[in-house]
C-alpha cells in the first residue's frame, strides 16, 4: 500500500506482517487475471480522469475484471476505460437504485451489462449507502486502487476495510 503521513491511524500505524507482505507480493505478481476494484472521489480534474480511464482500460485489456461504483469523476472514468477495453469485464455496483444516480451517470450506466442496483438503500443517506456499496465491491475484489483526498472519509474507511480483509490496497491522493 502506498503510505502517506496524514492518513487515519489505521492506515499508517500498522506495520504489515510478513504474511501480509507475501500475500501482497503474490497478488501483484500474479499473471492470471484478477478482480480489481477502482474507487475514488467524484471531484477529479479532467487530466486525472484521463489517467484513471487509461489505467482501467489497460487493466481490462489485460483480462482483469474491473469493479467500481457509478458516480461521476473517478468511477465514471473507470467505466469509460473498461467499456472501451471489454464491456464484459466490468461490474458496476450502485449504492442505491439507478434512478437515484445523477442523469449523466444514468446515461453512461444504461449500457452496462453487469450492473447491480440496491433500491433497498434508497432511504439511506448517500454516504451510508456508499459505505455499504464500497464494502460489497471490496468483498468481491483481490486488489483495491483508490483515488482520494486526505479528507475523503468514506473512501479512506473503504481502504481500511480492504486492508482488514487482506486485500492489496493502493491509494493515490489528489492533494
The domains of the chain are located at 33-173
pLDDT tens string 50-100: 999 999 999 999 999 999 998 899 999 999 999 999 999 999 999 999 999
Whole-structure pTM value? 0.83
Q: Which three cell numbers stand for residue 143?
A: 486488489
Taking the C-alpha atoms of residue 165 and residue 70, their distance in angstroms, rounded to an integer, is 23
Q: What is the CATH number of domain 33-173?
A: 3.40.50.450
For residue 59, how many other CB atoms are within 10 A of its CB? 23
123 SS3 class? coil
Distances (CA, A) of 115 to 12, 43, 97, 106: 34, 23, 10, 11
Taking the C-alpha atoms of residue 80 and residue 82, their distance in angstroms, rounded to an integer, is 6
pLDDT tens string 4-56: 444 555 554 455 566 665 665 566 566 678 999 999 999 998 999 999 999 99
The partner residues of 40 in beta bridges, in order of sequence, read 147
Amino acid at each position: 500500500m502506498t503510505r502517506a503521513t496524514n492518513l487515519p491511524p489505521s492506515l499508517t500505524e500498522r506495520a504489515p506482517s510478513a504474511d501480509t507482505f507475501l500475500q501482497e507480493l503474490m497478488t501483484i505478481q500474479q499473471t492470471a487475471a484478477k478482480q480489481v476494484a477502482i474507487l475514488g472521489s467524484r471531484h477529479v480534474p479532467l487530466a486525472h480522469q484521463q489517467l484513471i480511464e487509461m489505467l482501467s482500460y489497460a487493466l481490462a485489456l489485460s483480462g482483469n475484471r474491473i469493479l467500481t461504483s457509478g458516480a461521476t469523476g473517478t468511477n465514471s472514468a473507470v467505466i469509460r476505460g473498461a467499456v472501451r477495453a471489454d464491456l464484459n469485464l466490468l461490474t458496476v455496483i450502485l449504492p442505491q437504485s439507478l434512478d437515484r444516480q445523477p442523469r449523466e451517470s444514468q446515461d453512461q450506466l444504461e449500457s452496462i451489462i453487469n450492473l447491480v442496483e440496491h433500491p433497498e438503500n434508497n432511504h439511506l443517506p448517500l454516504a451510508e449507502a456508499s459505505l455499504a456499496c464500497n464494502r460489497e465491491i471490496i468483498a468481491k475484489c483481490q486488489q483495491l486502487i483508490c483515488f482520494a483526498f486526505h479528507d475523503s472519509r468514506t473512501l479512506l474507511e473503504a481502504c481500511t476495510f480492504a486492508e482488514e480483509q487482506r486485500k492489496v490496497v493502493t491509494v493515490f491522493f489528489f492533494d
